[in-house]
Amino acid sequence: MKVTLVQMNSVGDKALNLANARALIERAVVQERPDWICLPEVFDFIGGSRAEKMAAAEELPGGPAYQMCQALAREHKVFIHAGSILEKAPGEERLHNTSVAFNREGKEVARYRKIHMFDITAPDGAKYHESAAFKPGDSVVTYDCEGVTVGCAICYDLRFSYLFQALADKGADIVALPAAFTLVTGKDHWEVLCRARAIEMQAYLCAPAQTGAHKAGHETRFTYGNSLIADPWGQVVAKASEGPGLVSSYVDVDRIRKIRAMIPVAQHKVKLAV
């Protein structure tokens, strides 16, 4: 199974972002011929004001980002894991940050809403309060990709190992982790956390990321990029260079089985007394 990650520099211009996503997906189909393509977090719109986010959000199923990915999956006969999309939450003044996956026929096979909200003050003093604009989800989501089980997570979820253990318990062979990691946290934490989750799950970690600058109100914020694929041994088998682009590798199901047989951590779990 060949997988391709799409690295983007999305901004507060939805039409431009969708045009760029379409071009990169079509380039991936021609150049890489993958079975599965994954876009980064909020590929459709990042930054902007609260009102602009609300205006860019979609009612799922439907909306320009949803329909574009669905149509491209159907047209090119490829699985598309649509990173994450701004989704309207009925009766709410907040949005969901939502991954949607489509199979080769363009049928929706999974929908995951980001669980953990990025409410922090970064080392550079920048304040992030994601829960002010986004309502968290509460479901652990996996789906079948022609015999390979894909688990869903988004960006800040990466720091919460119990979610990844829940995905492992549901049989995940791959975890899709679309992200928009900040530059300041990404340079120290991104790769080590991705590798750690791959090692502890004994699964592939496929992490397409946002890269470069975008405007958030009066601030210019920077995302880290470095989209990567880590194998079940924790080795980075593919990694993006700077700027928008593609990174591809193969998911080797036999390698997953061999590593799980060699160090059978799932069989060694114990229930601790507390």
Is 215 annotated as catalytic?
no
Is 170 annotated as catalytic?
no
Question: What is the pLDDT at residue 235?
Answer: 98
Question: What is the pLDDT at residue 217?
Answer: 82
Is 152 annotated as catalytic?
no
Task: Evaluate whether residue 44 is within a structural domain.
Answer: yes
Residue pLDDT tens, the chain, 274 long: 999 999 999 999 999 999 999 999 999 999 999 999 999 999 999 999 989 999 999 999 999 999 999 999 999 999 999 999 999 998 888 999 999 999 999 999 999 999 999 998 888 887 888 999 999 999 999 999 999 999 999 999 999 999 999 999 999 999 999 999 999 999 999 999 999 999 999 999 999 999 999 998 888 999 999 999 999 999 999 999 889 999 999 999 999 999 999 999 999 999 899 8
Q: What is the pTM of this model?
A: 0.96
Q: Which of 14, 41, 145, 206 is catalytic?
A: 41
Q: Which of 38, 53, 87, 114 is catalytic?
A: 114
Question: What is the pLDDT at residue 77?
Answer: 98
Question: What is the pLDDT at residue 125?
Answer: 80
Task: Evaluate whether residue 7 is within a structural domain.
Answer: yes
Number of folded domains in the chain? 1
Question: What is the pLDDT at residue 190?
Answer: 98
Task: Evaluate whether residue 186 is within a structural domain.
Answer: yes
Question: What is the pLDDT at residue 184?
Answer: 93
The total of other beta-carbon atoms located within 10 Å of residue 13's CB is 17
Domain range for 205 is: 2-266
Question: What is the pLDDT at residue 127?
Answer: 83
Q: Which residues contact 24 (CB under 8 A, 6 or more apart)?
A: 6, 8, 244, 245, 246
Task: Evaluate whether residue 136 is within a structural domain.
Answer: yes
Output the domain CATH number for residue 107. Answer: 3.60.110.10
Task: Evaluate whether residue 273 is within a structural domain.
Answer: no
Task: Evaluate whether residue 271 is within a structural domain.
Answer: no
Question: CA torsion, points 80, 239, 250, 8, in degrees to nearest 10?
Answer: 10
Handedness of CA 27, 29, 31, 35 (dihedral sign): positive
Q: Which of 152, 155, 194, 206 is catalytic?
A: 155
Task: Evaluate whether residue 225 is within a structural domain.
Answer: yes
